[in-house]
Amino acid sequence: LSSDQCDFLPNLISLLCDCQPSNAPSPPSPSVDTGCSVCGVGKEVTSPNAIFSFPGQPATPCGELEEDGENDILSSDQCGILPNLISLLCGCQSIGAPPSPSEIVQPTADIGCSACGEGKEVTNPDAIFSFPGQPATACGDLQEDGKSGDLSSDQCDFLPDLISLLCDCREISPTSPGCSVCGDGKIVTNPEAIFSFPG
């Protein structure tokens, strides 16, 4: 796997592949019979009015997504992939936790950000990224918009996971070779799960 894949795969597959610390027992998976939390096990939406949009799906408020998960309207595949896509946008937090500022410094328009994520840059500037409700944009333009502060902090948060493969986002500085697809110190505990990525 490339260092780029090592960086973004843990976020995309952690729930689907049930990634757990290598020495921890696996928690029970939510069953379709009892619904699911779109934020992941033990978490809830704290920004119910935020709007989530995904290619080929209608734009939906986070609160409605949460209700659909709890009421068994979402498929187990959707329950598995949504936490990684909506976590920041929908303000997913541990159930009962008091709202607290994110530990991650949120970029602002005054500071700017990298569309690929901190420490990364676009290496395929001519690739075209499209997202529902937004104009198709070249990856190089997204990178420039980030640097100039034209991307919102929400866009800075969720764009890296969406554009990493298409825009061929790469570390600005060299990284060490080899990785676990679940992230450091974690292993796949559901090897039969099938991961698919659009495109």
Average pLDDT, the chain: 76
Residue 58 corresponds to which tokens in the numbers above?
């209608």
- What pLDDT was estimated at residue 59? 82
Q: What are phi and psi of 107, to 5 degrees?
A: -65, 150
- What pLDDT was estimated at residue 127? 92
Distance from chain centroid for Cα 186: 18
Q: Is the dihedral of CA 178, 181, 183, 186 positive or negative?
A: negative
- What pLDDT was estimated at residue 101? 43
Q: 114-125: per-residue pLDDT in tens?
A: 889 988 999 999
Q: What is the pTM of this model?
A: 0.39
Q: Please give the average pLDDT of every successive group of 10 residues along the chain, which has 199 residues.
A: 66 66 54 73 89 77 91 83 82 72 41 87 91 78 88 80 90 64 75 70
- What pLDDT was estimated at residue 22? 67
d(CA 88, CA 117): 14
- What pLDDT was estimated at residue 103? 37
Q: 74-110: per-residue pLDDT in tens?
A: 888 788 888 878 888 888 888 876 554 433 334 444 5
d(CA 189, CA 167): 30
Torsion angle (degrees, nearest 10) of CA 128, 82, 43, 116: -20
Rounded to the nearest 5 degrees, what angle is found at the Cα of 165, between the Cα atoms of 162 and 166? 80
